[in-house]
A and B are shown apart, each in its own frame.
Chain A
Amino acid sequence: GAVVSQHPSRVICKSGTSVKIECRSLDFQATTMFWYRQFPKQSLMLMATSNEGSKATYEQGVEKDKFLINHASLTLSTLTVTSAHPEDSSFYICSATWTQASHYNEQFFGPGTRLTVL
């Protein structure tokens, strides 16, 4: 149980276009979802935390208008990279949890999405 999927797994787009990445919890209702960004050979950096039905909380230094996060339902969160540029190329990973997901609210990670902006 506790499976998280992401779509697409890979996406290539032209500079200036917008790209939407979906994160779905397949067998549970995710009250909270997280979006991470990972540069090559580096660690995961938390971008934002989203709770279902409310606005996302962004980490310091993350542009809210560039990385739009929507958590409209308990099984789906989307990350839209607006007006993408080559420096936005990265591996984006989401995770999800729910209240009472064990007493430490374990996060379950998706397989990631590789974004390449040409």
Chain B
Amino acid sequence: AQSVTQLDSQVPVFEEAPVELRCNYSSSVSVYLFWYVQYPNQGLQLLLKYLSGSTLVKGINGFEAEFNKSQTSFHLRKPSVHISDTAEYFCAVRATSGTYKYIFGTGTRLKVLA
């Protein structure tokens, strides 16, 4: 079984400042890793994913994440945030074989301040 921990429920940050949203996972098997963004009353939009290969993954809207297998982490970063980045961010994992199920973290609310 897999589990995902997002340690920060809320992260306030000023506009144009850098931000890191933390994600740690636990799994006895190999996993794929994802970050999704959710704007109010909307579904999920895929920001980026790690499947294999380079541990640094670049996504949309200037976000990137680094897969660290030894620390079982997949932290999301952006060097300079905008007001429009205010949203809920979810980290998710899925086993590389077998089930299609995604396991989501509890989410981190990013609030960008002017």
Contact = CB atoms under 8 A, between A and B. Distances in A.
Contacts of A34: 100-102
A4 B102 CA distance: 17
Contact of A111 (B42, B51, B105): B42
- The interface size bin for chain A is 20 to 34
Interface residues of B, number: 21
Return the 4 tightest CB-CB contacts between A and B, nearest first. A109-B44, A111-B43, A109-B43, A43-B104
Interface in A69-101: 91, 93, 95, 97
Given A111-B42, A112-B41, A32 B100 contact: yes
B90 interface: yes
B100 A43 contact: no
Given A93-B44, A109-B43, A114-B41, 5 more contacts: A46-B101, A49-B101, A91-B41, A109-B45, A111-B43
A55 B12 CA distance: 44
A54 interface: no
Interface string A1-13: 0001010000000
A46 B90 CA distance: 14
A43 B42 contact: no
A59 to B, nearest CB: 9
A107 B36 CA distance: 11
B106 interface: yes
B104 A104 contact: no
28 contacts: A4-B43, A6-B43, A34-B100, A41-B107, A41-B109, A42-B106, A42-B107, A43-B90, A43-B104, A43-B107, A44-B44, A44-B90, A44-B104, A49-B101, A93-B44, A95-B44, A97-B100, A103-B51, A104-B49, A104-B51, A104-B94, A105-B100, A107-B100, A109-B44, A110-B43, A111-B43, A112-B43, A114-B41
